[in-house]
Amino acid sequence: MLMGTAAVAAMSGSMLAGCSGGGDNGGSGDAAASGDASSQTDPSTLTTFIVGFDQSYPPYGFVGDDGEFTGFDLDLAAEVCSRNGWTLQLEAIEWDAKDTLLNSGAITCIWNGFTMEGREDGYTFSEPYMLNEQVVVVKADSGIASLDDLAGKTVITQVDSAAFDVLEGDKADLKATFANLETIGEYNTAFMQLESGAVEAVACDLSIAQYQMSAKPDVYTQLDEALSSEHYAVGFKQGDTELADTVTQTLKDMVADGTVEELCDKYAEYGLTYDNWILA
């Protein structure tokens, strides 16, 4: 189902996509919080399930070698839609616009490595399905071995991301030791800057770190100490509880019949592991 809908999404997504922000999570959900809390989408009458995602966020959502949208979360969404009789539509969105798009009905949900911690009042969430951490990646030969070693260094992260939120919040004291905290629109470019030596560390989701390190194991290494631990969930407009519950139950059914583990294995080469799946 995913490949069939990706062609449609490629056309419709081009209308929404700009400089894609971190599928890695971003924003406090303040814009979403202004939505209608009584809003309800009836799963039994829903026909098209529109997933808003960051197309530069492997392995959860990205453009494959064939030019089609692919990724672990997009495959999960495709299977959920198939089991509920919905047509999947993929919309590659500008991350900063996610709340406006969700509240306007342009997308049904945000499903792309979306951190729920700190956003609970801004969205109606599915139950969390994946464990994640915010971590720091450096070059393997940098001599940086701990968070303390980042003092006086230039660190980069994605704008409006969970890593940025952590460094502005709970880890503000750590950030104060940096020479500079830079932000960028997407992580692929951040890691290019790290490899070139333009910056000395990247703060990002564990999944992004695993993906980049699996592609270049001799170039990058991850610091042992995490910045924070968190969970991924599917974010809906406030009030869409029944739809969120339907998605959660379908995911649980997919766990029970082995589908989720198969999808995790499919993306193992990107560093994704079933060990981090928490929904049962």
What is residue 39's predicted lDDT score, i.e. its pLDDT? Answer: 59
Give me the mean pLDDT over the 60-67 stretch.
93
- pLDDT tens digits, 126-162: 999 999 899 999 999 999 999 999 999 999 999 888 8
Q: Which of 255, 3, 44, 224 is nearest to 135 (CA)?
A: 224
Cα–Cα distance measured from residue 177 to residue 60, given in angstroms and rounded to the nearest whole number: 32
Cα–Cα distance measured from residue 31 to residue 111, given in angstroms and rounded to the nearest whole number: 17
As given in the structure block, the two tokens for residue 75 are: 């495959």
What is residue 110's predicted lDDT score, i.e. its pLDDT? Answer: 97
What is the CATH code for 133-229?
Answer: 3.40.190.10
* Bridge partners for 236 per DSSP: 109, 124
Q: What is the DSSP secondary structure assignment for residue 122, as one 8-state letter?
A: T
pLDDT at residue 38 above 50? no
* 121 exposure class (CB count in 10 Å sphere: 0-12, 13-18, 19+): exposed
What is residue 22's predicted lDDT score, i.e. its pLDDT? Answer: 39
Instruction: Tell me what the pLDDT averaged over the chain comes to.
Output: 87
What is residue 118's predicted lDDT score, i.e. its pLDDT? Answer: 82
Q: Which helix (H) or strand (E) holds 78?
A: helix 72-84
* pLDDT > 70: percent of the chain: 86
Cα–Cα distance measured from residue 264 to residue 275, given in angstroms and rounded to the nearest whole number: 9
Note whether 2-129+233-276 and 133-229 share their fold: yes
β-bridge pairing 48-53 and 87-92: parallel
* pLDDT > 90: percent of the chain: 72
User: Is 89 in contact with 50 (CB distance < 8 Å)?
Assistant: yes
The residue type at 84? N
What is residue 56's predicted lDDT score, i.e. its pLDDT? Answer: 86
Helix (H, G, I), strand (E, B) or coil at 6: helix
What is the band of 9 on the pLDDT scale with cuts at 50, 70, 90?
very low
Question: What's the pTM value of the predicted model, to 2 decimals?
Answer: 0.74
Going 70 to 77 to 187 to 20, the CA torsion angle's sign is positive
Give me the mean pLDDT over the 80-103 stretch.
95
- pLDDT tens digits, 161-219: 889 999 999 999 999 999 999 999 889 899 999 999 999 999 998 988 988 998 899 99
Backbone phi and psi for residue 50, each to the nearest 5 degrees, phi listed first: -100, 115
What is residue 186's predicted lDDT score, i.e. its pLDDT? Answer: 87
The domain ranges of the chain are: 2-129+233-276, 133-229
Q: What would the 3-class secondary structure string for 216-260 be?
A: CCCCEEECCCCCEEEEECCEECCCCHHHHHHHHHHHHHHHHCCHH
As given in the structure block, the two tokens for residue 161 are: 């991301």
Q: For residues 262, 264, 270 and 273, what is the CA-based torsion angle, rounded to 10 degrees?
A: -130
CATH 3.40.190.10 holds for 2-129+233-276: yes
User: Is 143 in contact with 237 (CB distance < 8 Å)?
Assistant: no
For the ranges 40-44, 235-239, 262-266, the lowest mean pLDDT is seen at: 40-44
- pLDDT tens digits, 93-129: 988 899 999 999 999 999 999 989 888 999 999 999 9
What is the band of 269 on the pLDDT scale with cuts at 50, 70, 90?
confident
Backbone phi and psi for residue 202, each to the nearest 5 degrees, phi listed first: -120, 130
